[in-house]
Amino acid sequence: MTEGGGAAAAAGPPGAAAPRAGATDEPDDAAASTRRAWERASAKHVREHDELLQEARRARLLPVEEALLAPVLRARPRVLHPQSGHGVDDHALARAGAREVLGLDYSPTAVGAAQRRADELGASCRYRVAELPPFPVPDGGHDLVYTGKGALIWLPDLDGWAAEVVRVLRPGGHLFLHEAHPLVPLWAWDPDEARVRPDRSYFAAHHVNDTFPALGAVEHQHPLSDVVMAVTRAGLALLELVEHPDPFWRPADVRAAAWDGRLPNSFSLLARRP
């Protein structure tokens, strides 16, 4: 699910990081409500097939992504895209040099819509329904794991996710994330001044999404330090970590002061399997 993936509530495996101070257990029905929310939201990918098809025809990665991934994509990697959503970025990856892209998403609606677009365009992109982790692919079969843009918020266990990233990468392979900054859920969308929402905490375990996909979906709150430590604990070498003032997604009818260039709204991470 991207713009989201599987949000199943589960405890971390033995050896996973201890819960953060102040964290509470996720509601028992969180996984079910989030799955329903995302399946409804994914119907948008079917309704807007023609628009997304045109977008896929000309899709490019963001400039910050192209800059960091250029050396990796020049080697024509086999790419795995967990939580692939509508799959438009997969066409951008193929256009930038990826030999093939396999997208994984737990929404059958999203997977079906993405595969239909790939088939119509003759793109080297394939899709599979899967709740993650684990990733349903063999060990060491991919050169690049590309993910983000609303993916990590649906993962309760970053250590388990990072271990799977290492497992599926060949030695020398890369992980690339371009994701919403963990501070983003705290920003109010006020146009006059950047404000912190009084109902959100950077160190909370989770919160209920009231914008997109809404409908009661539960998002996991992972501080940036948790993301970095999960990646490094798994054995990946951190190559780049860059924070950006621009969000990767803005509702067309919203002009928020939090997006005026003074606050972090996204980040990029590039890591390598030794």
Check residue 213 and give its pLDDT.
Answer: 56
Q: What is the pTM of this model?
A: 0.87
Check residue 109 and give its pLDDT.
Answer: 92
pLDDT band at 212 (very low <50, low <70, confident <90, very high): low
Q: Is the pLDDT of residue 147 over 90?
A: yes
**Domain-located, residue 7:** no
**Domain-located, residue 20:** no
Dihedral over Cα of 161, 165, 168, 171: its sign: negative
Percent residues over pLDDT 70 in the chain:
88
- Per the structure, the count of domains in the chain is 1
Contact predicate 201/270, CB 8 Å: no
User: What are the beta bridge partners of residue 79?
Assistant: 101, 144
**At residue 114, what are phi and psi to the nearest 5 degrees?**
-65, -40
CATH of the domain at 254: 3.40.50.150
In the chain the first and final C-alpha atoms are separated, in Å, by 28
What average pLDDT does the chain have? Answer: 87
**Domain-located, residue 23:** no
Check residue 200 and give its pLDDT.
Answer: 96
214-255 tens-digit pLDDT: 567 889 999 999 999 999 999 999 999 999 999 998 888 899
Q: Is the pLDDT of residue 6 over 60?
A: no
**Domain-located, residue 76:** yes
**Domain-located, residue 25:** no
**Domain-located, residue 6:** no
The closest alpha carbon to 13, from 228, 261, 234, belongs to 234
Task: For residues 35-50, give the mean pLDDT.
Answer: 77
